[in-house]
Amino acid sequence: MQPLDLYNPTEQHAMLRETVRQFVVKEVEPQALGHDRAEKFNLPLFRKLGSLGLLGITVPEQWGGAGMDATAAVIVHEELSAADPGFCLSYLAHSMLFVNNCTTNSSDAQRARFLPDVLSGDKIAGMGMSEPGAGTDVLGMKSAARKVGDHYVLNGRKMWITNGCISDTELGDIFLIYAKTEGGRLSTFVVEKGMKGFSLGQRIKDKTGMRASPTAELVFDDCEVPEENRLGDEGSSLEHMMRNLEIERLTLAAMSLGIARRCLKVMNQYAQERQSFGQPINRYGQIQNHIATSYAQYMAGRAYVYDTARRTRLDRYGMRTDTDGVKLFCSTMGKVVADSAMQVLGGYGYVGEYVVERLWRDAKLLEIGGGTIEAHQKNITRDLARYPQALD
């Protein structure tokens, strides 16, 4: 077991990393390529995460979770993504976008209703924010919910929804859905499979990467949502959204760490074993440039992610600059390291046998999902103009 440090600050964190790493080697790695090729979500394996207590990693123990912190969430996402970023993306949508968000912003009665089935993995969860015509511009969303008696009538469409389906024809089970209510203010609703007017639109296939993570369109056509399924006060959801975006972007950055670390391991080993002109190719300057630069970039990103995780509090908003910063830096870093690994491996890197081809495809999404790198650049620049003391 590694000594305690920034990356494993307590014995509990170190044990968590070891547990997840063993699970990855035994269960996740063997199925990764097959499910990527089949574009199939591994539902039985996902439910094993519930048995390990990982689906509620940030949920307080009183509600059945592990009661851990942002660093623990980063550890899990880094380790899972070193083998299967697609599988990890579904984990993030479930455990961060739904479970963490619901836990933070719901009432005790709602926690008692909604959490048990998602913590066990009996129900597969997701979150609906993006729409066909609104992504980064969340205030441009068209989905609307109108109060009628003791329920809301929800109309609209949500697009690019991770875990939106669990097969080509079957919806996911439960979702946090953002919609505009009276006065155009955002409210959050828990929408469940089986509700009148809620259906699966298209399943989005033939993606560049993250193919083992199902993506779908959700359709709400006069969908009837009980008032007790609204989280918090009507119109209070912009704060919910902004607070949860911090842990989302932090864990997406951790996914890039996992991709980069695995690519580094593969190219480092390959460059020692592969001979060219009578010597290992790691004797050549061009290859040394790829390996050494990739290592430095990975280590810089790793330190930034774990330092940000150490300072992030799950129950408050206030880390936007650095949660945007780690995703801005690490998402591109992971893609660049994967590209270097493919270059070092040459033709072997271009096929699925050596893993980096799949990781290279998966890495690109992290520059887009959870906020584009351009959105992060805008946010950071605005924050630094508003709070220049951050640079002191």
Tens digits of residue pLDDT in 296-324: 999 999 999 999 999 999 887 889 999 99
What b-and-e string marks burial along 211-236, b requiring 16 or more CB atoms within 10 Å of the CB?
bbbbbbbbbbeebebeeebbbbebeb
Report which of 249, 210, 203 is spatially closest to residue 100, judged by C-alpha positions: 249
Q: Which residue has the tokens 């048990």?
A: 116
pLDDT in tens, the chain (392 residues): 556 799 999 999 999 999 999 999 999 999 999 999 999 999 999 999 999 999 999 999 999 999 999 999 999 999 999 999 999 999 999 999 999 999 999 999 999 999 999 999 999 999 999 999 877 777 789 999 999 999 999 999 999 999 999 999 999 999 999 999 999 999 999 999 999 999 999 999 999 999 999 999 999 999 999 999 999 999 999 888 888 999 999 999 999 999 999 999 999 999 999 999 999 999 999 999 999 999 999 999 999 999 999 999 988 788 999 999 999 999 999 999 999 999 999 999 999 888 999 999 999 999 999 999 999 999 999 999 999 998 98
Rg (CA), the chain: 21
CATH topology assigned to domain 126-231: Butyryl-CoA Dehydrogenase, subunit A; domain 2 (2.40.110)
Retrieve residue 169's tokens: 């024809």
Tell me the C-alpha distance between 226 and 228, whole Å: 5
Note if 248 is an active site residue: yes
Q: Which residue has the tokens 């842990």?
A: 247
Q: Which ranges of the chain would DSSP assign to H, the alpha helix?
A: 11-23, 29-38, 43-51, 70-81, 85-92, 101-105, 108-120, 237-273, 285-311, 320-345, 356-365, 373-386
Residue 85 confidence (pLDDT): 98
Amino acid occupying residue 167: S
Domain range 237-391, its CATH number among 1.10.1060.10, 1.10.357.140, 1.20.140.10, 3.10.20.30? 1.20.140.10
Residue 101 contacts residue 244 (beta carbons within 8 Å): yes
Report which of 85, 118, 90, 88 is spatially closest to residue 103, judged by C-alpha positions: 118
Residue 3 confidence (pLDDT): 60
Q: Is 11-124 a CATH 1.10.540.10 domain?
A: yes
Long-range interactions of 66-69: CB distance < 8 A, separation 24+: 68/12, 68/13, 68/16, 69/309, 69/312, 69/314
Tell me the C-alpha distance between 96 and 99, whole Å: 6
For 187-199, give the secondary structure using H, E and C.
EEEEEECCCCCEE
Ranges of each domain in the chain: 11-124, 126-231, 237-391
Residue 241 confidence (pLDDT): 86
Q: For residue 10, what is the DSSP state?
A: S
Q: Which residues pair with 1 in a beta bridge?
A: none
Q: Name the active-site residue from 248, 273, 353, 357.
A: 248
CA 13 to chain CA mean position, Å: 20
Residue 119 contacts residue 133 (beta carbons within 8 Å): no
Q: What are phi and psi of 208, to 5 degrees?
A: -60, -45
